[in-house]
Protein backbone atom coordinates (compact mmCIF):
# COMPACT_ATOMS: atom_id res chain seq x y z
CA UNK A 1 0.00 0.00 0.00
CA UNK A 2 1.57 3.26 -1.16
CA UNK A 3 1.04 5.44 1.91
CA UNK A 4 1.78 2.76 4.51
CA UNK A 5 4.92 3.38 6.56
CA UNK A 6 5.52 -0.32 7.26
CA UNK A 7 5.15 -1.19 3.56
CA UNK A 8 7.83 1.41 2.88
CA UNK A 9 10.09 -0.08 5.55
CA UNK A 10 9.53 -3.60 4.15
CA UNK A 11 10.42 -2.32 0.66
CA UNK A 12 13.57 -0.59 1.91
CA UNK A 13 12.20 2.81 0.92
CA UNK A 14 12.59 4.31 4.37
CA UNK A 15 15.25 3.27 6.88
CA UNK A 16 14.78 0.99 9.83
CA UNK A 17 17.08 -0.85 12.18
CA UNK A 18 16.54 -4.31 10.72
CA UNK A 19 17.35 -7.34 12.78
CA UNK A 20 15.84 -10.08 10.57
CA UNK A 21 14.40 -10.54 7.11
CA UNK A 22 13.35 -13.33 4.79
CA UNK A 23 10.99 -13.73 1.82
CA UNK A 24 7.82 -13.14 3.85
CA UNK A 25 8.73 -11.20 6.97
CA UNK A 26 10.91 -8.37 8.21
CA UNK A 27 11.75 -7.47 11.80
CA UNK A 28 13.15 -4.16 13.00
CA UNK A 29 13.58 -2.15 16.19
CA UNK A 30 10.66 -0.04 17.37
CA UNK A 31 11.62 3.65 17.34
CA UNK A 32 9.78 4.24 20.63
CA UNK A 33 10.88 1.21 22.65
CA UNK A 34 8.81 0.17 25.65
CA UNK A 35 11.43 -2.30 26.90
CA UNK A 36 15.19 -2.85 26.50
CA UNK A 37 14.33 -5.11 23.54
CA UNK A 38 11.36 -3.97 21.44
CA UNK A 39 11.18 -5.48 17.97
CA UNK A 40 8.35 -5.31 15.43
CA UNK A 41 7.82 -8.37 13.24
CA UNK A 42 5.72 -7.66 10.14
CA UNK A 43 4.64 -9.44 6.97
CA UNK A 44 6.11 -7.87 3.82
CA UNK A 45 2.63 -8.10 2.29
CA UNK A 46 0.23 -5.36 3.38
CA UNK A 47 -2.49 -6.70 5.66
CA UNK A 48 -4.17 -4.22 8.03
CA UNK A 49 -4.45 -6.42 11.10
CA UNK A 50 -5.46 -9.85 12.43
CA UNK A 51 -9.01 -9.37 11.16
CA UNK A 52 -7.71 -9.32 7.59
CA UNK A 53 -5.03 -11.99 7.97
CA UNK A 54 -5.46 -15.65 7.13
CA UNK A 55 -4.29 -18.46 9.37
CA UNK A 56 -1.24 -19.21 7.26
CA UNK A 57 0.04 -15.64 7.50
CA UNK A 58 -0.53 -15.52 11.24
CA UNK A 59 1.28 -18.83 11.55
CA UNK A 60 4.18 -17.45 9.53
CA UNK A 61 4.40 -14.34 11.69
CA UNK A 62 4.28 -16.17 15.02
CA UNK A 63 6.54 -18.86 13.63
CA UNK A 64 9.42 -16.37 13.49
CA UNK A 65 9.19 -15.39 17.15
CA UNK A 66 11.31 -18.16 18.60
CA UNK A 67 14.40 -17.57 16.51
CA UNK A 68 14.17 -13.77 16.61
CA UNK A 69 13.76 -13.86 20.40
CA UNK A 70 16.75 -16.19 20.62
CA UNK A 71 18.81 -13.81 18.47
CA UNK A 72 18.04 -11.04 20.98
CA UNK A 73 19.07 -13.14 23.98
CA UNK A 74 15.51 -13.52 25.28
CA UNK A 75 15.16 -17.30 25.38
CA UNK A 76 16.27 -17.82 28.96
CA UNK A 77 14.20 -15.20 30.81
CA UNK A 78 11.32 -14.94 28.36
CA UNK A 79 9.51 -12.14 26.63
CA UNK A 80 6.09 -10.80 25.71
CA UNK A 81 4.40 -10.82 22.31
CA UNK A 82 1.59 -8.34 21.61
CA UNK A 83 -0.58 -7.72 18.56
CA UNK A 84 -2.74 -4.60 18.88
CA UNK A 85 -5.89 -4.70 16.74
CA UNK A 86 -8.19 -1.80 15.92
CA UNK A 87 -9.17 1.17 18.02
CA UNK A 88 -9.79 -0.58 21.34
CA UNK A 89 -6.62 -2.58 20.82
CA UNK A 90 -4.63 0.64 20.53
CA UNK A 91 -3.41 -0.05 17.00
CA UNK A 92 -1.82 3.07 15.51
CA UNK A 93 -0.08 1.64 12.42
CA UNK A 94 -2.55 -0.22 10.24
CA UNK A 95 -0.17 -2.82 8.85
CA UNK A 96 -0.18 -6.05 10.86
CA UNK A 97 2.74 -6.22 13.28
CA UNK A 98 3.76 -8.31 16.23
CA UNK A 99 5.54 -6.58 19.10
CA UNK A 100 8.32 -8.62 20.71
CA UNK A 101 9.23 -7.11 24.08
CA UNK A 102 11.85 -8.27 26.53
CA UNK A 103 14.83 -7.48 28.70
CA UNK A 104 12.77 -6.52 31.75
CA UNK A 105 9.89 -7.96 33.77
CA UNK A 106 6.54 -7.29 32.09
CA UNK A 107 3.68 -6.27 34.36
CA UNK A 108 0.27 -7.87 33.95
CA UNK A 109 -2.42 -6.76 33.31
CA UNK A 110 -1.47 -4.07 30.79
CA UNK A 111 -3.07 -0.64 31.05
P1 LIG B 1 0.73 -0.14 17.41
O2 LIG B 1 0.28 0.85 18.46
O3 LIG B 1 0.59 -1.57 17.83
O4 LIG B 1 0.10 0.14 16.07
O5 LIG B 1 2.29 0.05 17.29
C6 LIG B 1 2.94 0.79 16.31
C7 LIG B 1 4.38 0.85 16.72
O8 LIG B 1 5.13 1.26 15.59
C9 LIG B 1 4.68 1.81 17.85
O10 LIG B 1 5.29 1.09 18.93
C11 LIG B 1 5.64 2.81 17.21
O12 LIG B 1 6.63 3.24 18.12
C13 LIG B 1 6.21 2.03 16.06
N14 LIG B 1 6.70 2.80 14.92
C15 LIG B 1 6.04 3.77 14.26
N16 LIG B 1 6.77 4.22 13.22
C17 LIG B 1 7.92 3.49 13.22
C18 LIG B 1 9.09 3.47 12.40
N19 LIG B 1 9.22 4.28 11.33
N20 LIG B 1 10.07 2.59 12.70
C21 LIG B 1 9.94 1.76 13.76
N22 LIG B 1 8.87 1.72 14.57
C23 LIG B 1 7.87 2.58 14.31
ZN1 LIG C 1 1.47 -1.74 4.71
Whether residue 111 has pLDDT greater than 80: no
Question: Strand, helix or coil at 51?
Answer: helix
Mean pLDDT value of segment 37-45:
98
Whether residue 1 has pLDDT greater than 90: no
CA 77 – CA 9 distance, rounded (Å) = 30
Measured from the CA of 32, which atom of ligand 1 is nearest?
12
CA 22 – CA 109 distance, rounded (Å) = 33
Domain with 33 in it: what CATH number?
A: 3.30.428.10
> Is 109 among the domain residues?
no
CA 108 – CA 11 distance, rounded (Å) = 35
For residue 3, which ligand has an atom nearest its CA? 2
Cα 109 from chain centroid? Answer: 20
> Is 20 among the domain residues?
yes
Which amino acid residue places its CA nearest to atom 12 of ligand 1?
32
Q: Do 71 and 20 meet the contact criterion of CB atoms below 8 Å apart?
A: yes
- Residue 26, strand partner residues: 21, 42
CA–centroid distance, residue 11 to ligand 2 (Å): 10
> Is 107 among the domain residues?
no
Does 2 contact ligand 1 (Cβ within 6 A)?
A: no
> Is 108 among the domain residues?
no
> Is 68 among the domain residues?
yes
> In this predicted structure, what is the pLDDT of residue 22?
97
> In this predicted structure, what is the pLDDT of residue 2?
82
- Gyration radius of the chain over CA positions: 13
Does 88 contact ligand 1 (Cβ within 6 A)?
A: no
For residue 16, which ligand has an atom nearest its CA? 1
pLDDT digits (tens, 9 = 90+) for 43-99: 999 999 999 999 999 999 999 999 999 999 999 999 999 999 999 999 999 999 999
Put the strands of the sheet holding 37-43 in their side by side order.
Answer: 18-21, 25-29, 37-43, 98-102, 80-82
> In this predicted structure, what is the pLDDT of residue 4?
98
The domain in which residue 55 lies consists of: 5-102
Q: How many domains does the chain have?
A: 1
Amino acid sequence: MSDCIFCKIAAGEIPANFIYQDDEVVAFKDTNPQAPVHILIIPKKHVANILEADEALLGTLFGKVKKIAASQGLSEKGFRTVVNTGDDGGQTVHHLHLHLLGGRFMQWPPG
